[in-house]
Amino acid sequence: MTATLLGGLSPTRFLRDVWHKRPLLIRNAVPDFTGLLTLGEMQQLACRDDVESRLIQGSGTHWQLDHGPFGKNDFKRLPKTEWTLLVQSLNHILPEADALLARFNFIPHARLDDLMVSYAVPGGSVGPHFDSYDVFLLQGQGHRRWQISTQTDLAILDDVPLKILRRFKPEEEWLLGPGDMLYLPPHVAHYGVAEDACTTYSIGFRAPTSEELAHGFLMHLQDTLKPEGRYADPDLRLQAHPGEISRAMLAQIEDMIAKIKWDKRDIAEFAGRYLSEPKPNVFFNPPEAPLTRAAFNKQANRHGVALNPKSRLLFTGGRFFINGEAFTGAAGETAALKQLADQRKLVPPLPAALRERFYDWYEAGWLEINAA
């Protein structure tokens, strides 16, 4: 199955020879794939306030970007050409989208972001641009023409709401039909234009910047470290300039800050919390009529459990992280928790040691009972 997805390559060979290194066109990557939802269904999602959506119109140097939620009348006023509707995190909404995303689990879950779908009318596009992360572009219905370039000139247009390349110079071109897929590593410039009414499903990956990681880690230290001591100067001497910060004061502050230390365990704790933290616009809905603890245990042991599509469960060693929270797996828990993190579901029988934890996650909306 994965070999078809990767054009005959094994995951090992793909990661070794292609991933993060070069573009790859894969014909018929997902046989008989024509998409997961209709334009009408996409528009319904774009009208919801809990779904991230965008509407892009234009071409050349003239572009318009609008953010959802939209109203039904917004779609009635659209022209017949040159517009694109995008809906983010489709895997949080459709089980079929979540299953499609699961086919890319040869990439660590900590790197996987979400599944976005775009619908475009003839001429519809988001313009020539580049991404700072890896992406798979899977064609649903219709046809889209892709041009790519490995150019180093990544200057963008001024005064437009999108990051459109100022000077795009295509080097290769392909027409993708249903089931075809294009993989692009970071910073490969690309320009996709709809030949007819079409959908494209984008599998994107997380690639935080050094600044984002540094800021996140400093915030983590602020929340977790409690340095002892207080500034003091019992040997203070009269200064010629009261407004001057003395060398002695600077030296003491330097010594106090130098006492702030961290090790690999602190890095692992931060990474687990940071990478499992849902996006700010992700919210969990607890069950409206939750089962009692006894009823939940009975159903879970009969059918098994699965993570909510929005949940992120990661681990390192015996330390587990779910949706930004951390805990250490107890005896009898770790093997099943690692399986749940890898496969995102567990089949019965479930370890008795996990009943209390799973029920708490169920009440929070993080975990569900498998469909019967």
Per-residue pLDDT reduced to its tens digit, 50-108: 999 999 999 999 999 999 999 999 999 999 999 999 999 999 999 999 999 999 999 99
20-48 average pLDDT score: 97
Write down the pLDDT at residue 216. 96
Query: Which tops the pLDDT comparison, 4 or 136?
Result: 136
For the chain, how many helices (H) and strands (E)?
11, 17
Burial 306-340 (b: 16+ CB within 10 A, else e): bbbbbbbbbbeeebbbbbeebeebeeebbebbeeb
158-183 average pLDDT score: 96
Q: What percent of the chain has pLDDT over 90?
A: 93
100-129 average pLDDT score: 96
Write down the pLDDT at residue 331. 84
In 3D space, the residue among 31, 1, 8, 21 whose CA is nearest the CA of residue 183 turns out to be 21
Write down the pLDDT at residue 227. 86
| Confidence check: pLDDT of 116 > 70 | yes
C-alpha to C-alpha distance for 311 and 308, rounded to whole angstroms: 5
Phi/psi of residue 145, each to 5°? -95, 125
Write down the pLDDT at residue 225. 86
Q: What percent of the chain has pLDDT over 70?
A: 99
Q: What are the start-end ranges of the E strands in 130-267?
A: 135-139, 144-149, 172-176, 181-184, 189-194, 198-205
Burial 79-88 (b: 16+ CB within 10 A, else e): eeebbbbbbb
pTM value is 0.92
Phi/psi of residue 72, each to 5°? -60, -35
Write down the pLDDT at residue 3. 67
2-205 to CATH, choices 3.40.50.10680, 2.60.120.650, 2.40.30.10, 3.40.50.2300 = 2.60.120.650
354-358 average pLDDT score: 94
Q: Residue 101, Cβ neighbours under 10 Å: how many?
A: 19
Query: Which tops the pLDDT comparison, 336 or 332?
Result: 336
| Confidence check: pLDDT of 341 > 70 | yes
Q: Which two tokens stand for residue 259?
A: 């006492």
Phi/psi of residue 191, each to 5°? -145, 110
Q: Is 32 exposed, middle or buried (0-12, 13-18, 19+ CB in 10 A)?
A: exposed
| Confidence check: pLDDT of 127 > 90 | yes
Write down the pLDDT at residue 1. 61
| Confidence check: pLDDT of 137 > 70 | yes
Confidence of residue 2 (pLDDT cuts 50, 70, 90): confident
| Confidence check: pLDDT of 372 > 80 | no
- The per-residue pLDDT for range 225-264, each reduced to its tens digit, is 888 899 999 999 999 999 999 999 999 999 999 999 999 9
199-207 average pLDDT score: 96
Confidence of residue 371 (pLDDT cuts 50, 70, 90): confident
Please state, rounded to an integer, the average pLDDT across all residues of the chain. 95
Residues of the chain with CATH 2.60.120.650: 2-205
Query: Which tops the pLDDT comparison, 1 or 334?
Result: 334
User: Could you give the strand order of the β-sheet that contains 345-346, starting from the edge strand earlier in sequence?
Assistant: 345-346, 305-307, 367-369
